A and B are shown apart, each in its own frame.
Chain A
Amino acid sequence: MPSLGADMEAGTLVEWLKRPGDRVARGDVVAVVETQKGAIEIEIFEDGTIDELLVAPGTTVPVGTPLARLSGGAAAPAPAKRAAPPPVAPVVAAAPAAMPAKAAAPTLRETPASPAARRLAAERGIDLAAIKGSGPGGAIVSADLEGTKTAPAPAAPPRRGLDLDAMRQAIAAAMARSKREIPHYYLGTAIDMHRAQRWLADTNATRPPTERLLLGALLLKAVALALRKSPELNGFHIDGTFRPSAAIHVGMAVAIRGGGLVAPAIHDTAERSLDDLMRALRDLVARVRAGTLRSSELTDPTVTLTSLGERGVESIQAVIYPPQVAIVGFGKLVERPWVVGGAADGAIAVRPVIQASLAADHRVSDGHRGALFLAEIDRLLQEPEKL
């Protein structure tokens, strides 16, 4: 039984995905273990053939207990079964994808099942809620799906309950990978927002509520335009190589009520007008809340924008979402004393100020580039009418 965290003392073997006699290769998922953190797929660390399964499904054993005996590997006799961390989100999409959607069908959300069974059910179009589980606590395991008839292709994808636990796991995997692999550097700057705020107030004063803009739309556009001059911050770091993206699809971090977060793309952000971006934002937030995101929105973000100012946070040091290479953060708009004018005739004025921050991948860009990027955002926000 591998240790899947410093606080884990025991785990319950939910399901074997291999049988005695099966050949296995390093990295294969061989079993599912239920822990306090949920069901975890266990990968094997060596090549070989499974001789014997030592722990039966449903059994809880302490960490360190051998689960199976392996032979034929390069390494000699010992079972030497070690767990890798849970599979890491290979692409940005993995986290949101693990997170189907909100509302509806609470039964589905509460159906306990192993990850392998969920995957199998998804492949075969089987409704897990209709299956009786034989695993621990009635959890559905792959064997329960044997002989189950495949449902006819549904006319529309079924709406599912949001699996916050699965999302938490996916976020954990992506963030752990980010902190493990990406050498972040962090920069921050305070931006005088009085012009942007005044322009926004003047603009909205003449508009009905349906056509009003939020500050978030201005920030989104400024970030996207600034990225045009900083291609090292827009793209993906995959297999040791940076692949810049010609398109700029800013992923907007949107908190999900009840917990969790998703950062779907607003496509071609730099090309779109503020009004268009505002419509897209409203639509996106509504669909995040309703759980009707599109797959391309989950797979396409080339950079992420996160804003926590609404909750009073003044500055953010964000974690990059791999394989992206940068994340931009904005804090709360606060009134601050601000020096205006030159050194000789300067004065102190009260100005609305926002903290913009950048976390970027040092394998791809340097602080100098990041600083230019933040300065460009500042410059753009001083001319809101041109955004």
Chain B
Amino acid sequence: MTEAEIRALVLEQLGNIAPEADLSAIDPAAPLRDELDIDSMDFLNFVIALHERLKIDIPELDYPRLATIDGAVAYLAGKLPG
């Protein structure tokens, strides 16, 4: 999976959680919780969606690394083979 594909997947899942948000206007380096007004339930659903789509484990201890779009893309790229 290329980084662009991972980014597209991340944005797709965030779009499911915050359908009203203009994802193109979000600073990819800013905290998602603030940018999208998401709570811990939203974040858990985000993690579950990534877990199910990519078949990778995302331990709770790693949650802080998914706090921004850029962070999530980098984290997932590092987890995926190739």
**Contact status B44-A212, CB under 8 Å:** yes
Dominant SS among interface residues on chain B: helix
Are A209 and B44 in contact, with the CB atoms below 8 A? yes
Q: Would A208 and B51 be within 8 Å (CB), given that A201-B60, A310-B39 are in contact?
A: yes
Is the Cβ of B47 less than 8 Å from the Cβ of A215?
Answer: no
Q: Is A258's CB under 8 angstroms from B20's CB?
A: yes
Chain A: interface residue total (CB-CB under 8 A): 18
CA A62 to CA B33, docked complex, whole Å: 46
Q: Confirm or deny: A282 has a beta carbon within 8 angstroms of a beta carbon on chain B.
A: yes
State whether A216 and B48 are in contact (beta carbons under 8 Å apart), knowing that A201-B60, A205-B60 are contacts in the complex: no
Interface of A is mostly: helix
Q: In the complex, which residues 35-56 of chain B have their Cβ closer than 8 Å to any Cβ of chain A? A: 37, 39-41, 44-45, 47-48, 51-52
Shortest beta-carbon distance, A162 to chain B, in Å?
A: 11
A281 proximal to B (CB < 8 A): yes
Most buried by B among A103, A210, A257, A286: A257
> Do residues A282 and B60 form an inter-chain contact, with CB atoms below 8 A?
no
Which of B44, B47, B48, B51 has the largest count of A CB atoms less than 10 A from its CB?
B44
Instruction: Give every chain B residue within 8 A of A204 (Cβ-Cβ).
Output: 60
Do A257 and B20 form a contact, CB below 8 Å, given A214-B40, A310-B40? yes
User: Top 3 closest A-B pairs, CB basis?
Assistant: A310-B39, A209-B48, A209-B51
> Which residues of B are in contact with A by a Cβ distance under 8 Å?
18-20, 33, 37, 39-41, 44-45, 47-48, 51-52, 57-61
